[in-house]
């Protein structure tokens, strides 16, 4: 049975809009990203199969291009969507001489709503206030966010302060059903992804 034939309350997209991202399983969230299934296979069933094949959502999202694109219903277009966000944030922040904390706000289908610079600090620190991040997410109508900040020193390793504030932001945003998908630190080279490091 196609997802469009399901009761409205059980369809992943409608469920997300009504109850928030926290109410959905990893398979349902992945199904929204996939948008469509395969002939005779719904997007949710395809998502379940992919999660089983890759061993979970995080290994799927962290997979190298060849392995990712080999997954059923995946391919270069989906891979590029996931990578484009990192490249964009790096281009925005790499050459800043002060530490800047930003949020990329996303809708329920993980499409970009806005990119906002919320806090600017000194050469090696920026004060970040969870209340203001939550207010900005609500004002934008965001369902998810990707956090990002730069290290003007060029060293992208996360500090204990980075890890601590990420946890506080994740908890604060969860109270209003906004998911933190990643926190990226931009420096020289590839930068650091909290999702890839298992820090979220």
Look up the pTM and report it. 0.60
pLDDT tens for the chain, 200 residues: list them: 566 666 666 677 777 667 765 677 778 877 777 777 778 888 888 888 888 888 887 677 677 888 888 887 787 877 777 677 677 777 777 788 888 999 989 888 887 788 888 988 876 667 889 999 999 999 999 999 999 998 888 888 899 999 999 999 999 999 999 999 889 898 877 778 888 788 88
pLDDT recorded at residue 87: 74
Residue 191 to residue 32: CA distance in whole angstroms: 28
Query: At what angle are helices 130-140 and 160-174 packed, to 10 degrees?
Result: 50
Structure tokens at 8: 């409205």
- What pLDDT is stored for residue 153 in this prediction? 85
Q: So what's the pLDDT on residue 165?
A: 93
Task: Specify the pLDDT at position 197.
Answer: 82
- Helices and strands counted in the chain (H then E): 9, 5
Q: How far apart are CA 181 and CA 66, in angstroms?
A: 23
CB 22 within 8 A of CB 145: no
Domains and CATH numbers, the chain: 3-74 (no CATH), 84-197 (3.40.140.10)
pLDDT (0 to 100) of residue 131:
93
- Cβ burial, residue 10 (10 Å; 0-12/13-18/19+): exposed
């Amino acid at each position: 049975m196609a997802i469009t034939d399901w009761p409205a309350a059980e369809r992943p997209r409608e469920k997300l809009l009504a109850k928030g991202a926290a109410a959905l399983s990893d398979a349902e969230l992945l199904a929204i990203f996939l948008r469509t299934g395969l002939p005779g296979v719904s997007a949710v069933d395809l998502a379940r199969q992919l999660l089983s094949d890759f061993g979970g959502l995080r290994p799927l999202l962290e997979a190298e291009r060849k392995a990712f694109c080999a997954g059923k219903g995946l391919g270069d277009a989906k891979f590029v969507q996931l990578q484009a966000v990192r490249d964009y944030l790096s281009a925005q922040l790499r050459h800043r001489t002060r530490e800047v904390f930003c949020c990329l706000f996303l809708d329920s289908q993980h499409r970009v709503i806005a990119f906002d610079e919320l806090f600017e600090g000194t050469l090696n620190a920026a004060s970040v206030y969870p209340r203001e991040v939550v207010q900005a997410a609500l004002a934008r109508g965001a369902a998810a966010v990707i956090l990002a900040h730069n290290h003007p020193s060029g060293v992208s390793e996360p500090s204990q302060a980075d890890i601590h504030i990420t946890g506080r932001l994740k908890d604060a945003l969860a109270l209003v059903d906004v998911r933190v998908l990643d926190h990226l630190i931009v420096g020289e080279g590839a930068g650091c992804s909290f999702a890839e490091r298992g820090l979220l």
